[in-house]
Amino acid sequence: MIMENKTASNNRSLKVILSIAVLLLLGTAYYTYSLYNESVDTKNQLTAEKELVINDLNDMTAKFDAAIGENEVANKKLVEARGRIVGLMDSLKVSDNSVRSLWRYKKKFLTLQTEMDVVLAENDSLKVENVLLASSLDSTKTQLEERVMFSDSLLVQNTELADIVENAAVLTTTNLEGYAVIVRSSGKLIPTERARRSDKLRVCYTVAKNTLVDAGDKEFFVQVLDPMSNVLGLNEQVQFDNVVLNYSLISKFNYESRNLDICEFIEARGADKFATGRYIVNVFDQKALVSTTEFELK
């Protein structure tokens, strides 16, 4: 009887131990399975986080590429910052998928992001300054062009004014007339229209006042042509550039910046008398014809 009770007790203990062992085994299996699932989830989450960081780094690189592309001469800070981003991204791609590793790279990413904001802000400020500088240069260029145009216009005006003054700074004559005279023994002059009674031809004119002409000794060349177009008087030649002028006399006078009346005489050659017909009188200032008139002898 005692043996039977002992055997029954042993069987119950064994059953309890087996039950506990089974429970422990099942618990261990469940824990192991849970750890495995957590590991897979963690790995997937870390991989996803890693991809997000890489995408953010790609976006950051694109922003720097755009900023660098806007500059003909790239900002040195932009280039250096972009290089650090590319280096971090390459390192992250080959790193292990651990929390510690990912956290380290995320810290570097956040640091770079802060730096990126500063560098891009500086670049934007530089672009604004460049725009303002370009605008200022364009304005300066426009002002210079306007100044050059004004100077050219002023030069043209001054040249034209100088030409006008030069052209206006000449002596002119008024009241030019020519006629024949009879010379009495007393020196009295009697105008006549009779060719055979004429002793001399008289040419008179007034030098008009011109304040643009300096006072001093001046001269005009007087040319008198008879009805046959012969040059009376001296009939000598003077050349101005490519122009040859035959003149009857040189009318010399002292100009004093006021009207000046002048008369000159031309005598017949030898015993010849003046021919009948139309006579022409020309007054030249060098090669320039100043005035002309005509008269007739019968």
- pLDDT tens per residue, range 183-233: 998 889 999 999 998 999 999 999 999 888 889 999 999 999 999 999 999
Whole-number pLDDT of residue 162: 47
pLDDT above 70 covers a percentage of the chain that reads 52
DSSP string, 226-239: -TT--B-TT-EEEE
Q: How confident is the model at residue 255 (pLDDT cuts 50, 70, 90)?
A: very high
- Rounded to 10 degrees, what is the CA torsion of 12, 16, 19, 23? 170
**Tokens representing residue 294 in the block:** 């005509």
- Sorted by sequence, the CB contacts under 8 Å of residue 293 that are 6+ apart come out as 176, 177, 178, 280, 281
Nearest residue to 227 (alpha-carbon basis) of 179, 178, 279: 279
Q: Which of 77, 273, 78 is nearest to 180 (CA)?
A: 273
Look at residue 265 and give its three-state secondary structure.
strand
**Order of strands, edge to edge, in the sheet holding 216-225?**
249-255, 216-225, 277-285, 288-297
* Confidence band of 4 (pLDDT split at 50, 70, 90): low
Q: What angle do CA 282, 224, 234 make, to 5 degrees?
A: 120
- Determine the 3-state secondary structure of 275 from DSSP: coil
Rounded Cα gap, residues 121 and 115, in angstroms: 10
Q: Confidence class of residue 75 from pLDDT cuts 50, 70 and 90?
A: low
The reported pLDDT for the residue numbered 246 is 94
Among the ranges given (37-51, 143-157, 236-250), the one the predictor scored with the smallest mean pLDDT: 37-51
Listed in sequence order, the DSSP H helices in the chain are 2-69, 76-93, 99-168
At residue 185, the pLDDT reads 87
User: Hey, what domains does the chain have and what are their CATH numbers?
Assistant: 2-128 (no CATH), 173-297 (2.60.40.10)
Rounded to whole angstroms, how far apart are CA atoms 271 and 92? Answer: 130
63 Cβ partners below 8 Å, 6+ apart? 116, 120
Residue 166's pLDDT is 47
pLDDT tens digits for 52-65? Answer: 767 776 777 776 67
Rounded-to-integer distance, Cα 189 and Cα 197, Å: 12
Least confident of 72-81, 266-275, 288-297: 72-81
Q: How far apart are CA 181 and CA 185, in angstroms?
A: 13
CA distance 35 to 266: 143
| Antiparallel, parallel or unpaired: β 216-225 and 173-183 | unpaired
